[in-house]
Amino acid sequence: MALRKDIWRPAIVMATAEAIIAKGSIAGFPLMWLPPMGSFQFLADPFGLWRDGRLYVFVETYDYRVRIGAIEVLVYDADFRLVDRQPVLAEPWHLSYPLVFEAEGETWMLPEAHRSNQLTLYRAVDFPTRWEPAHIIELDHVAVDATPVFHDGKWWLFYTSADREPDKMTALHVAHAERLAGPWTPHPANPVRVDVASARPGGCRA
């Protein structure tokens, strides 16, 4: 029987989000691939943040021999040359989908970590390499691939549920709050969408 594994290779698309949305595809745009990994290893779930002329790309790094993802940062200069690479966050449980963003005067990371049975929001104490747990976000379910959006003066959080294995892919939930720290109020119609093709914010990976 053949051995099959998911192996990911992210790339930076040399185009604006507006251009990609208008075209409906990344086909034809130049790509710059992130560095390759060794056997049975990959990088995934990149999130980029420009600061002081440098692009900080936070990624999941995964090794099938360890089976616990951790978070690294790849630093590129303005000409997209890789100038640094360092580990930034590891826990006893699997981490992925390192959503990094700026809000409320701080820099935050909200990684996927449902195997910890909670959702932890981290604050940068020495960007980009040192992060501390800042808040536990209390929700109606253990969240998978939680994704915050600030809209019309309020925070909205989109996530699927880890309660049942199928729900990780199919059951989209929403909550809202006045501040990132909460309290968070689940939408009364949760799950607001049930669809294996489009419910999970981080895509199709389990």
pLDDT in tens, 128-149: 999 999 999 999 999 999 999 9
Residues 174 and 12: their CA atoms lie apart, in Å, by 29
**Does the pLDDT value for residue 36 go beyond 60?**
yes
User: How much is the pLDDT for 150?
Assistant: 97
Contact assessment for residue 44 and residue 59, using Cβ atoms and an 8 Å cutoff:
yes
- Which tokens sit at 167? 């729900």
User: How much is the pLDDT for 8?
Assistant: 85
37, 33, 30, 31: which is closest to 6 by C-alpha?
Answer: 37
By CB atoms closer than 10 A (0-12, 13-18, 19+), residue 44 is buried
**Does the pLDDT value for residue 205 go beyond 50?**
no
pLDDT in tens, 55-84: 999 999 999 999 999 999 999 999 999 999
pLDDT in tens, 170-199: 999 999 999 999 999 999 999 999 999 889
**Does the pLDDT value for residue 2 go beyond 70?**
no
**Does the pLDDT value for residue 116 go beyond 90?**
yes
Helix (H) or strand (E) holding 20: helix 17-23
CB atoms within 10 A of CB 107: 18
The pTM (predicted TM-score) of the whole model is 0.93
pLDDT in tens, 77-104: 999 999 999 999 999 999 999 999 999 9
User: How much is the pLDDT for 3?
Assistant: 59
* The dihedral sign for the CA sequence 13, 197, 6, 96: positive
158, 163, 165, 164: which is closest to 186 by C-alpha?
Answer: 158
- Which tokens sit at 173? 């939930």
**Does the pLDDT value for residue 106 go beyond 80?**
yes
175, 170, 204: which is closest to 110 by C-alpha?
Answer: 175
